[in-house]
Amino acid sequence: MLLRHAEKPAIRPAMRRLNPEWLDELAPQDPRAVGTRKDLQRLNRIMGHVSILTDLWRRNQPDRWIQTIIELGAGDGTFLLEFARAIAPTSRPYNVVLVDRLNAIRPETLQAFRDLGWKPEVVTEDVFDWLPRARLDDAAIVANLFLHHFDEPRLTALLETISEKASLFLALEPRRSFGALTASRLVGLIGCNAVTRHDAVLSVQAGFKDKELLSMWPARGWYTQEIEVGRFTHCFSAQRFSAAPRKQP
């Protein structure tokens, strides 16, 4: 999937609104949480997030210098696994760190990474506690439908820490737009459960538009891009100057 600027709808929710999402309050084994994670797998496919992330990855050409891929708010780990499968035919194996405060990752998911030659590690800890003390070298950090959970002060602090730790950062978030909000109210039509129906609307209301993430990102030393992709997705990418591949003469 090629990235392209999407047309902006005429009406957009003006301000971010944050409210607690039900999934965050459920135990990983709760049947409602299990159903919602399956719904999220389906919604990621509908939004094309694996394809979008794969395209972002290839545009940044990180294979020569990235050693580790870290997903913040990894959930059940299946999103990054699908991404790994997408790039595996043309990329070497990576170390993978799946970070989430709740462990919802099944053993078979970890084995699927190993079958690709990748080395997975699970970190069951709050991102704000783990990331500042993590010792990372040549790492790419990925966030999928994660940043919108935080208000501006916490998000600014998180992005500052990411900029200190990562060589490459890629984020896919809900777009805060009239079209995305309308679609979020219709996810029940594809069989999503009550938790997903509730959280989908809140996710869009807390999503991003324009250059909101860029305004919170450290200004110097990075190549950055913030764009809209497809109908519902807001993308942010940042690559450290020193990590960018040199052009051949």
pLDDT digits (tens, 9 = 90+) for 16-73: 999 999 999 999 999 999 999 999 999 999 999 999 999 999 988 888 889 999 999 9
Instruction: Tell whether 8 is covered by a domain.
Output: no
| Token pair in block for residue 171 | 């984020």
Question: Model confidence over 102-130: pLDDT tens digits?
Answer: 999 999 999 999 999 999 999 999 999 99
Q: Binning pLDDT at 50, 70 and 90, where does residue 1 land?
A: very low
Burial status of residue 3 (CB atoms within 10 A of its CB: 0-12, 13-18, 19 or more): middle
Question: Model confidence over 146-205: pLDDT tens digits?
Answer: 999 999 999 999 999 999 999 999 999 999 999 999 999 999 999 999 999 999 999 999
Instruction: Tell whether 182 is covered by a domain.
Output: yes
Q: Strand 168-174 vs strand 233-240: parallel, antiparallel, or unpaired?
A: antiparallel
Of 123, 116, 130, nearest to 83 by C-alpha is 116
Instruction: Tell whether 74 is covered by a domain.
Output: yes
Q: pLDDT value at position 122?
A: 98
Instruction: Tell whether 248 is covered by a domain.
Output: no
Instruction: Tell whether 225 is covered by a domain.
Output: yes
User: What whole-number distance in Å separates Cα of residue 72 and Cα of residue 161?
Assistant: 12
Q: Binning pLDDT at 50, 70 and 90, where does residue 138 land?
A: confident
Structure-model confidence comparison of residues 223 and 244, the more confident one: 223
Helices (H), the chain: 31-47, 49-60, 78-87, 107-115, 127-130, 152-165, 178-184, 194-205, 212-216
Instruction: Tell whether 121 is covered by a domain.
Output: yes
Q: pLDDT value at position 97?
A: 98
Whether the pLDDT of residue 12 is over 80: the answer is: no
Contact 176/16 with Cβ under 8 angstroms? yes
Q: pLDDT value at position 245?
A: 52
- Domain count for the chain, please give it: 1
Q: Binning pLDDT at 50, 70 and 90, where does residue 136 land?
A: confident
Of 240, 121, 232, nearest to 170 by C-alpha is 240
CATH code for position 62? 3.40.50.150
User: What whole-number distance in Å separates Cα of residue 43 and Cα of residue 91?
Assistant: 26
Q: pLDDT value at position 173?
A: 98
Instruction: Tell whether 151 is covered by a domain.
Output: yes
Question: Model confidence over 71-104: pLDDT tens digits?
Answer: 999 999 999 999 999 999 999 999 999 999 999 9
User: What whole-number distance in Å separates Cα of residue 222 and Cα of residue 193?
Assistant: 40
Instruction: Tell whether 12 is covered by a domain.
Output: no
Query: What residue numbers bound the domain in which 198 lies?
Result: 22-240
The residues, any chain, with a CB within 8 Å of residue 129's CB and separated by 6 or more, are: none
- Coil vs helix vs strand at 114: helix
Of 179, 208, 184, nearest to 198 by C-alpha is 184
Question: Model confidence over 196-224: pLDDT tens digits?
Answer: 999 999 999 999 999 999 999 987 889 99
